[in-house]
């Protein structure tokens, strides 16, 4: 979208300063959206700024309440990628063994009473966080392909190609071209991943959310309601990875 049609603004609502993104397009009405990025206002191209602000003030209580709910949600942890880091893999702890060298990664399964391990090397010019994401994405794709094949066989549909997505608001999607699944699902327990995979595979039969669709998903996933609730909760806490930033030396050293 052109920068001229998207801009940042501030307004005071119920005595509180609120920032929002204004997006203009060829629409006829004003609309509000609140997500992980904050408040967005969609407006017609020719709507005056005064009309936008009047619309926000008319919905001030809703905006303040939704922003408060958003602020109270658990935030994803930012994990600094260094040797010895523990991160979730399939719902269980996994330890990173990081060294420098030619780029390579190897997964070592958990021993009795010990976490699984990712042995990873990356060059000094590479971002360890990026290397870790790539290793997780490769692990995720292989795992998801196996689960898609399993569920497709169970319900009697052809296996569709699987690819990864980084979509902000959807865990997966299904189309004639294949099934797309969010790579960060690999952090979650297998039964939650299975729900998302089963959901998308069931769309190969019912491209809707009709009672027949949910009945088919329920045949594959026990405790469907419980697993969906766990996904809503745990899905907000998946970690993000950042590189370790060396602090500058102290002047007192």
> 250 pLDDT exceeds 50?
no
Residue 114 — pLDDT band, cuts 50, 70, 90?
confident
Q: What is the pTM of this model?
A: 0.70
Residue 248 — pLDDT band, cuts 50, 70, 90?
very low
> 102 pLDDT exceeds 50?
yes
Rounded to an integer, what distance in angstroms lies between the CA atom of residue 45 and that of residue 56? Answer: 17
Tell me: the pLDDT tens digits for 144-157? Answer: 999 999 999 999 99
Find the mean pLDDT for residues 164-174: 88
CB–CB of 223/125 below 8 Å?
no
Q: Which fold does the domain 78-240 belong to in CATH?
A: Zincin-like (3.30.2010)
CA 99 vs CA 96, 109, 123, 139, 245: distances in Å: 10, 19, 9, 19, 17
- Give the residue among 169, 174, 225 at the shortest CA–CA distance from 199: 174
Q: Which residues are CB-neighbours of 253 under 8 A, at least 6 positions away? A: none
Count of alpha carbons within 13 angstroms of residue 171, beta-carbon side: 21
Greater confidence, 36 or 62? 62
Sequence ranges of the domains in the chain: 3-72, 78-240
> 252 pLDDT exceeds 80?
no
CB–CB of 109/94 below 8 Å?
no
| Mean pLDDT estimate for the chain | 89
Find the mean pLDDT for residues 124-135: 93
Beta-bridge mates of residue 89:
92
């Amino acid at each position: 979208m052109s920068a001229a049609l998207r801009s940042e603004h501030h307004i005071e609502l119920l005595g509180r300063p609120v920032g929002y993104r204004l997006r203009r397009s060829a629409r006829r009405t004003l609309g509000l959206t609140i997500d992980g990025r904050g408040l967005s206002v969609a407006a017609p191209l020719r709507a005056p700024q005064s009309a936008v602000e009047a619309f926000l003030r008319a919905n001030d209580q809703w905006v303040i309440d939704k922003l408060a709910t958003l602020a109270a949600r658990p935030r994803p942890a930012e994990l600094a990628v260094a040797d010895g880091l523990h991160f979730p893999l399939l719902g269980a702890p996994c330890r990173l063994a990081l060294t420098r060298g030619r780029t390579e990664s190897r997964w070592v399964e958990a021993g009795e009473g010990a976490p699984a391990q990712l042995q990873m090397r990356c060059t000094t010019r590479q971002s360890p966080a990026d290397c870790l994401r790539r290793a997780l994405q490769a692990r995720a794709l292989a795992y998801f392909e196996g689960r898609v094949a399993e569920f497709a066989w169970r319900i009697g549909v052809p296996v569709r190609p699987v690819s990864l997505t980084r979509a902000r608001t959807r865990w997966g999607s299904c189309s004639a071209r294949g099934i797309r699944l969010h790579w960060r699902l690999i952090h979650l327990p297998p039964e939650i991943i299975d729900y998302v995979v089963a959901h998308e595979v069931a769309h190969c039969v019912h491209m809707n959310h009709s009672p027949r669709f949910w009945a088919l998903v329920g045949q594959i996933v026990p405790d469907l309601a419980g697993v969906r609730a766990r996904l809503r909760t745990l899905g907000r806490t998946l970690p993000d990875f950042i590189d370790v930033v060396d602090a500058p030396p102290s002047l007192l050293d």
